[in-house]
Amino acid sequence: MTRRTRRAEAPRLPPRLPEKVEFDLTLQNPNCVFQLLKKHYSRYTPEMVERITGIPKEQFLKAADLYTSIRKDGDMKKAGTIIYAVGWTQHTFGTQIIRTAAILQLLLGNVGRAGGGVNALRGHSNIQGATDMAGLFDTLPGYLKVPTPADGSFDAWMKRVTPTPSKPAPWDSFNYYGNTPKFAVSFLKAMYGDAATKQNGWAFDYLPKVDRNYSWVQMWDDMYSGGIKGMLAFGMNGVAIGPNSKKNIDALKKADFLVVGEIYPDETSEFWRSPGITTDEMKQIQTTVYRLPCAGFAEKDGSFTNSARWLLWKNSALPTPGDARLDQAIVAQIFLKIRELYKKDGGKFPDPILNLTWNYSAPSSPPLAEVLKEINGKALADLEDPATRQQIKTGQQLPGFAWLKDDGTTSCGNWIYSGSFTEAGNQTARRDPSDPSNLGIHPGWGWSWPANRRVLYNRASCDADGKPWDPTRKQVWWNESAQKWVGNDVPDFKVDSKPKDHMGAFIMNPEGVGRIFAPLAAFADGPFPEFYEPIESPIDNPLHPEQTHNPVVKRFKTPEDKYATPKDGYTIVCTTYRVTEHYHYWTKNNPMNVQLVPEPFVEIPAELANDLGLHGGEKIKVSSIRGAYIAKAMVTKRIKPMMIDGKKVYQIGFPIHQGYRGISEDEGRDARTLANLLSPTVFDPNAFTPEFKGFLVKVERA
């Protein structure tokens, strides 16, 4: 469905750290990370915070004192958590914000602690599961790095993506990602079975090689430019999601085909009759649209993975209606037909299709429990643990990822999910609510990756001697008599590593410690987080006015890609959000939700309403340089004007849910326009998340 039109950036990896690194346990060396950190953030004074954010410095200091008070007088018993959502991520510097939170938590000792960490709130129930299972273009299941064209062989790929330990003299490093070849070989065996052999590099050549950016915004730009000729959109309303919905509509006009799997007609399946397109223009659109009736969430079984990494199995509540079919049945039919055509007609490289494992009891609609068993992994030969003498027979389910091998004797679709469906059954379906530790661990409720571990890096909940910082809330600890780590949670550590060995608690990092200073190229924009203004901002960045925006953010160049400045008359900051009464773009088809919120609104501060002579309920027009949005004004004191760098700045916001599809109950109340007609086509250079949370508009009476 794609045609190469340009060479763009392939997925990047940080360079290897040296085997031995310099260190200074006194933290006084001017080149140690701590001193570099202090120097970098010395510019971020309370006064500068006030200039950038509009938060009075007294309030900022009060918040900072409150949060850091958990370590008052050296107290290590308390823990603090940071919870965030898309208000942080949907910026061109979103990764920088979240990294800053992670650094703060590392400095405060809040990582690895029950009630600590940096925790994301998701807008959907299975976002974590989607990324775990390679919902991102630059990872395979379990976050294995995708191969690129430069990886000429399996061994070359493994050499590039497998880190080697970096061990400062006083401490040891487990470097658990050193096991990447075991994860990768087992994954390829799960994918291609007997066709994956040591002689052919475990069928490495079957894997697609990712040569450039295939993220969401880039994909729509490629379609707009003619590079992508078709799309399968299942449960993803790309036109409404945006950003820059008009560009996405124009991109679909240029496609050869569009397949939409949904339970309702949506803006994507009916892009060809979006507002503003005339009957004559419709006749010119040559895109063939196939609309497939799919199953709703209540009609499916399967697992959700929540933000705490808990896999929870759900059963279907009712059968699919009419001709609607389960997602896997539709995908299976497409795959089986394609394989049939390859068998009949051959092809340039049919091997990956012909040799893909498909050993399900119902090939035309694979039961998802069988898929989870495949993901968990099984033994392809008799196995034995040399330490415990535990044996696993050929064909049996693996107890966990510690059993994975790089010699072809194990298969596993996703190493971090290994242990989720064992010989004891589907662990994700467990519903034991008990919590003996009273720490919120609930070890028998569902299953948490990895290894049913509920708190990552929980070795950090203990001091150097292996004793819990808070003896009244013990997570894990070193048992001297047993000579191993034990606990109320599954220890996230080498179980027999003695405290005197000084192994670093952060076992997934090759250096064994928390990563405050990111190695060169681990992030697109530098080793320490830095604040930048959104691409559209009412002010220059007070930290560095000559570099207001993130310097590595990509600006697209099509006629649809326009970016405003205050000089263009766009001076009001706009953000978009969701409301409790609606679920994304779906519930506008549900009468009860529409009755609760039957029409869109624009939330504006009372001060701005007074300036414009507006009253609540009057229709207003919000315009960005890309489009306009009309809805009633909701005058509120919740959103207030901000004093940004000494300048009064207004902010407004409106929900994303409405569009030009939905039930007729809101007919006449809704301008039938999309919120993302206004948002810019620009994204964070690391996570590729669009910048929905800050762009410039003007406001006037409709």
Could you report the per-residue pLDDT of 395-444, keeping only the tens digit for each? 999 999 999 999 999 999 999 999 999 999 999 999 999 999 999 999 99
Name the band, by pLDDT with cuts 50, 70 and 90, for residue 22. confident
Name the band, by pLDDT with cuts 50, 70 and 90, for residue 330. very high
- pLDDT at position 190 is 98
- pLDDT at position 522 is 81
User: Which of 80-89, 117-126, 349-358, 531-540 shows the lowest mean pLDDT across its residues?
Assistant: 117-126
Helix (H, G, I), strand (E, B) or coil at 161: helix
> How far apart, in whole angstroms, are the C-alpha atoms of residue 640 and residue 296?
40
Residue 663 has pLDDT above 90, yes or no: no
Contact criterion met (CB below 8 Å) for 641 and 649: yes
Residues of each domain in the chain carrying CATH 3.40.50.740:
216-345
- pLDDT at position 545 is 95
Of 484, 480, 477, nearest to 460 by C-alpha is 477
- pLDDT at position 5 is 39
Q: Please state the rounded mean pLDDT for residues 317-339.
A: 96
Contact criterion met (CB below 8 Å) for 379 and 396: yes
- pLDDT at position 396 is 98
Residue 3 has pLDDT above 80, yes or no: no
**Quick one: which H or E segment has residue 576?**
strand 572-577
Instruction: Return the structure tokens found at 157.
Output: 């790929």
By the 10 Å C-beta count (0-12 exposed, 13-18 middle, 19+ buried), 498 is classed as middle
Residue 233 has pLDDT above 50, yes or no: yes
Write the pLDDT tens digit of every residue in 147-185: 999 999 999 999 999 999 998 778 889 999 999 999 999
Q: Percent of the chain beyond pLDDT 70? A: 97
> How far apart, in whole angstroms, are the C-alpha atoms of residue 557 and residue 215?
17
Contact criterion met (CB below 8 Å) for 226 and 5: yes
Q: Concatenated DSSP letters for 311-340?
A: EEEE--SSPPPTT-B-HHHHHHHHHHHHHH
Residue 7 has pLDDT above 60, yes or no: no
Residues of each domain in the chain carrying CATH 2.40.40.20:
545-701
Is CATH 2.40.40.20 the right assignment for the domain spanning 545-701? Answer: yes
- Average pLDDT, whole number, for the chain? 94
Of 440, 496, 568, 574, nearest to 114 by C-alpha is 440
> How far apart, in whole angstroms, are the C-alpha atoms of residue 493 and residue 534?
40
Q: Concatenated DSSP letters for 257-276?
A: EEEEEESS--TTTTGGG-TT
Residue 8 has pLDDT above 70, yes or no: no
- Does the predicted TM-score (pTM) go above 0.85? yes
Residue 6 has pLDDT above 70, yes or no: no
Write the pLDDT tens digit of every residue in 51-103: 999 999 999 999 999 999 999 999 999 999 999 999 999 999 999 999 999 99
Helix (H, G, I), strand (E, B) or coil at 118: strand
216-345: CATH class: alpha beta
Instruction: Return the structure tokens found at 91.
Output: 């910026």
Q: Percent of the chain beyond pLDDT 90? A: 89
Q: Please state the rounded mean pLDDT for residues 122-140.
A: 90
Instruction: Return the structure tokens found at 444.
Output: 């028998």
Name the band, by pLDDT with cuts 50, 70 and 90, for residue 143. very high
Q: Concatenated DSSP letters for 513-539?
A: S--SSPPTTSSTT-SS----B-SS-SS
Residue 656 has pLDDT above 80, yes or no: yes
Contact criterion met (CB below 8 Å) for 458 and 451: no
By the 10 Å C-beta count (0-12 exposed, 13-18 middle, 19+ buried), 355 is classed as middle
Taking each helix axis from N to C end, the angle separating 46-53 and 57-68, rounded to the nearest 10 degrees, works out to: 120
Name the band, by pLDDT with cuts 50, 70 and 90, for residue 671. confident
Instruction: Return the structure tokens found at 419.
Output: 């242990």
Of 280, 220, 227, nearest to 251 by C-alpha is 220
Write the pLDDT tens digit of every residue in 267-317: 999 999 999 899 999 999 999 999 999 999 999 999 999 999 999 999 999
Distance from the Cα of residue 130 to its chain's centroid: 8
- pLDDT at position 20 is 84
- pLDDT at position 520 is 66
Helix (H, G, I), strand (E, B) or coil at 104: helix
Helix (H, G, I), strand (E, B) or coil at 20: coil
Q: Please state the rounded mean pLDDT for residues 572-579.
A: 96
> How far apart, in whole angstroms, are the C-alpha atoms of residue 263 and residue 372?
25
Residue 2 has pLDDT above 50, yes or no: no
Cβ burial 222-253 (10 Å sphere, 16+ → b, else e): bbbbebbeebbbeebbbbbbbbbbbbbbbbbb
Name the band, by pLDDT with cuts 50, 70 and 90, for residue 1. very low
Tokens 């509120």, located at residue: 636
Q: Please state the rounded mean pLDDT for residues 260-265.
A: 94
Instruction: Return the structure tokens found at 284.
Output: 């010119």
> How far apart, in whole angstroms, are the C-alpha atoms of residue 46 and residue 49?
5
Helices (H) and strands (E) in the chain, counts: 17, 26
Instruction: Return the structure tokens found at 497.
Output: 């590593």
Residue 667 has pLDDT above 80, yes or no: no
> How far apart, in whole angstroms, are the C-alpha atoms of residue 643 and residue 163?
47
Name the band, by pLDDT with cuts 50, 70 and 90, for residue 655. very high
